[in-house]
Structure 1
Amino acid sequence: MKKLYFNYLDTFKGLSKEVWWLALITLINRAGTMVIPFLSLYLTKSLEFTKIDVAWIMSCFGLGSVAGSWLGGKLTDKIGYYKVMKASLLLTGLLFIALQFVDTFSGFCIGIFLVMLVADTFRPAMFVALSAYSKPENKIRSVTLIRLAINLGFSAGPAVGGIIITSLGYSGLFWVDGVTCILATILLINVLHPKKSKVVDEVKVENPVSVFSDKAFWIFFVSMFMFGFIFLQYFSTMPLYYKDEHHLSELKIGLLLGLNGFIIFALEMPLIAWLQKSKYSKEFLMFFGLFLTGLSFLVLNLTGWIGVLIIGMLLMTIGEMIAFPFSNAFVMDRAKKGNQGEYMAYYSIAFSASHIFGHNAGLQLIDKLGFDSTWSIMTGLSIVGMLALLLLMRVIKKEKHELKPSNSAFN
């Protein structure tokens, strides 16, 4: 047991202090995003919106995310990641506090759009900062550390969120979200100011290649959109499934969602360190991660036993643990020949676009077809994403064959 513990600690060695600070900022920020998993419940229960209303609100959520990711990439390439992260965190905190006072359908559509527009400018900037603060050999582990911070925050967030709803009501969530974003801003200013932080791998390309001419990236984009589409069901339709079909309380829903974050915190770093040493390519590992995520929906239709909810969560969690770090590393590698902000923006947009269509389609499907048919459709979409990744493997293999005589920066 002692050896296992020290082996676990070894997986964290060699990361820069800036990456650790960025992880802490992300942890504080993410711990406060407890509104999001409960948003569909809040809108249907407290504001008495219909599932169709919620579906359109979630589409506005996604539209804001797409616009924010695109804007964040542009601003990062123009003014730098530090200024973008600072402004995004502070304004997001203020907007979250204000959102609790909106109670009309049109007002909430506009409000959630603005929140996500500002909030998701942070993502491309954070990814570029992460790349700049990491040595090339540490980038995948740095990404994994950030994901650990996100999921540790997310593990605590829903569980605490369930307690807050029980004791203070839903308005308490908006206050916590806002205050934690502001606290993260203060920490960012104090520890990651350009005069205090050290860049170890800043990539500047004299004649950057446009992301739009990168065929492999767009095949990858389609696969990540499909992955995001089904993955996001766990944060909109799945809480409704837990409540309506299995009659779980908000507290139990929060604990089940929190299980996802706890498993990632405990196992992802050693899993990624082990997979990095394996013979498997990033593309194959993304394929396997998507396979497990699709399987998590398939098992829900096999039995009505309540324990299948935990099995589904475990499958999705392992799939997520594998797919996200290696997909991020894939983009970081390819971004070395173009504008980093642009590449990371469109990587974020793949998931932001999933927000536009995934939440809406999922809610519309469960309203018209029921949960079982919806889960079957999600399984089918995972197969589409897996086929795209098989095509990506062929394209990457062809690229490597063509570039074999020379050393490619994104090989």
Structure 2
Amino acid sequence: MQKYGNENLNRAIYHCGVCKFGAQKFKISMLKSGFERYINNFRGFSREVWILATITFINRAGTMVLPFLSKYLKEDLGFSYGEVGWVMVCFGLGSMLGSWLGGKLSDKIGFYKIMIFSLFTSGLLFLGLQFITSFWGLCIAMFVIMAVADMFRPAMFVSLGAYAKPENRTRAFTLVRLAVNLGFAAGPALGGLIIMGIGYQGLFWADGSSCIIAILIFALLVKEKKNPVHVDGHFTQDTKVDSVFKDRIFWVFLFVSFATAMIFFQIFSTLPLYHHEMYGLTEFQTGLLMTLNGLLIFFLEMPIVSIFDRNKTNKLKIMLWGSLMMTFSFAVLLFKGWAGVLVISIMFMTFGEMFLFPFSNSFALSRAPRGHEGRYMALFTMSFSLAHIMSSKTGMEMTSHFGYQTNWIFMGSLGIVAAVCCVWLMKMVREENV
């Protein structure tokens, strides 16, 4: 009996070991399969698109000034809320001018020259910004710097149309956004450490140097190419249009882009101050919250975009979901007292980004007929610049007079309006295609 009992026990132990080994092997196989599916989302891009993504990462990782600009002006230079708001207004006005010039000149002389001029010159200007500390001096300096720096954005969007295959353009936009957010994940946390170690001046050196390094890499490795032949959007290359200003659908779309960008830009103005004043967070802790945003986008955005692309999901419907998620990101901030709401808010904001920005980029380019890509993308980027002006000034003034809670309610309401406009846009597009 003892012998049979031992044999049964040994047999049971053996089978248990086999089951455990099989389970571990299955887990490893599943992880490997999941990793391969994730990597497959990044296949099919041209060499130039990868270089564009690389220089975008270098530039974004070095752009440490923006997340802390409002804190630098308020706490280091002693500006009032109103003065901080006006500097941000000049920042946005310069960005609008730069976006328009960048798009206009991209159509006339090509995106390649604009990109090189913009990044190299703005790098030098950022190096000099640290020596300007007066209110009016900073207003003028921020206007000039952003007028030069934001010539890059419409030119870069047009370049993706030239270097990416038509079927890969939405994913190419997403890849560049991933580079932006990966740099954004590293930049703020490193920026917080630099501030704590050597002060805000270190940020200006990092920002200026990264612009110059990034564009030198681009100039050395990427050859100039003509503007794209547009074949994947609503218009064909033979479509005749009188003016971008008569494209009614595009203008409603621009309002949605403006409204959602206005909500998003609170992350650079009122939110860092809210973190410190209401919850006592340090620059480094605020940087870690920004890092969470960047890491989530890095790991999730490309698979999400690929799934929507494969299923041919309506871009405007995805933007509708994104608008609602941005609304929720401010709704949760109304529950005060628990610091965990800051994490929940950032997560809603992050998913709102992932649903909104890649598909809005793609939709904007898809509306542009051949030879008008720069103009369309200029107006698209200008909507973000205008949002930067309105977001910072409105947020700062509303916070100063009525408090943070009123500002969160206003921004959440704006997200609802954007969602309603997305529904209206879907109806307009359906009627246009009948």
Verify: 1:330 aligned to 2:357, yes or no: no
Q: CA deviation at 1:206?
A: 8.2
Name the SS for the 1:245 alignment partner. helix
Change in Cα spacing, 1:166 to 1:393, as seen in structure 2 (3 Å) is: same
Q: CA deviation at 1:337?
A: 5.1
Question: In structure 2, what residue type is equivalent to 1:292?
Answer: M
Q: State how far apart, in whole Å, the 1-side matches of 2:62 and 2:268 are.
A: 15
Change in Cα spacing, 1:398 to 1:208, as seen in structure 2 (3 Å) is: closer
Name the counterpart of 1:251. 284
Name the counterpart of 2:339. 306
Question: In structure 2, what residue type is equivalent to 1:395?
Answer: M
In structure 2, stretches of 5+ residues that fail to align are 1-30, 231-236
Of 132, 136, 143, the residue aligned with 1:113 is 143
Q: What root-mean-square deviation, in Å, do the aligned CA atoms of Structure 1 and Structure 2 show?
A: 1.4
Q: What are the superposed Cα offsets for residues 366-391 of structure 1, whole Å, 9 maximum, x if unpaired?
A: 11111111101111111111121111
Name the counterpart of 1:408. none
Deviation larger for 202-211 or 382-391? 202-211
Verify: 1:187 aligned to 2:217, yes or no: yes
Name the counterpart of 2:373. 340
Of 406, 409, 420, the residue aligned with 1:387 is 420
Question: In structure 1, what residue type is equivalent to 2:150?
Answer: D
Question: In structure 2, what residue type is equivalent to 1:280?
Answer: T
Q: What are the superposed Cα offsets for residues 201-242 of structure 1, whole Å, 9 maximum, x if unpaired?
A: 534668554211111000001111110111100111000000
Runs of 4+ in 1 over 2 A off after TM superposition: 199-209, 277-280
Name the counterpart of 2:114. 84
Q: How many residues align?
A: 398
Of 280, 294, 316, the residue aligned with 1:261 is 294
Contact 1:232 1:358 in 2 (8 A): yes
Q: State how far apart, in whole Å, the 2-side matches of 1:35 and 1:66 are.
A: 19
Change in Cα spacing, 1:179 to 1:355, as seen in structure 2 (3 Å) is: same
Change in Cα spacing, 1:338 to 1:294, as seen in structure 2 (3 Å) is: farther
Q: What are the superposed Cα offsets for residues 80-129 of structure 1, whole Å, 9 maximum, x if unpaired?
A: 01000000010010010111100100000001111110010000000000
Of 154, 171, 179, the residue aligned with 1:149 is 179
Of 301, 304, 320, the residue aligned with 1:287 is 320
Q: State how far apart, in whole Å, the 1-side matches of 2:63 and 2:33 are.
A: 35
Contact 2:266 2:391 in 1 (8 A): yes
Q: State how far apart, in whole Å, the 2-side matches of 1:336 and 1:255 are.
A: 42
Q: State how far apart, in whole Å, the 1-side matches of 2:183 and 2:200 are.
A: 19
Q: State how far apart, in whole Å, the 2-side matches of 1:277 and 1:303 are.
A: 41
Change in Cα spacing, 1:3 to 1:209, as seen in structure 2 (3 Å) is: farther
In structure 1, stretches of 5+ residues that fail to align are 402-411
Of 24, 27, 42, the residue aligned with 2:72 is 42
Name the SS for the 1:102 alignment partner. coil
Verify: 1:354 aligned to 2:383, yes or no: no
For the pair shown, the structure with the greater C-alpha radius of gyration is: 2
Q: What are the superposed Cα offsets for residues 303-340 of structure 1, whole Å, 9 maximum, x if unpaired?
A: 42111100000000001011001101101111135600
Question: In structure 1, what residue type is equivalent to 2:412?
Answer: T
Q: State how far apart, in whole Å, the 1-side matches of 2:142 and 2:402 are.
A: 27
TM-score relative to the length of structure 1: 0.95
Q: State how far apart, in whole Å, the 1-side matches of 2:299 and 2:242 are.
A: 39
Name the counterpart of 1:170. 200
Name the SS for the 2:279 alignment partner. coil
Q: State how far apart, in whole Å, the 1-side matches of 2:51 and 2:194 are.
A: 28
Name the counterpart of 1:70. 100
Contact 2:100 2:151 in 1 (8 A): yes
Name the counterpart of 1:2. 32
Name the SS for the 1:164 alignment partner. helix
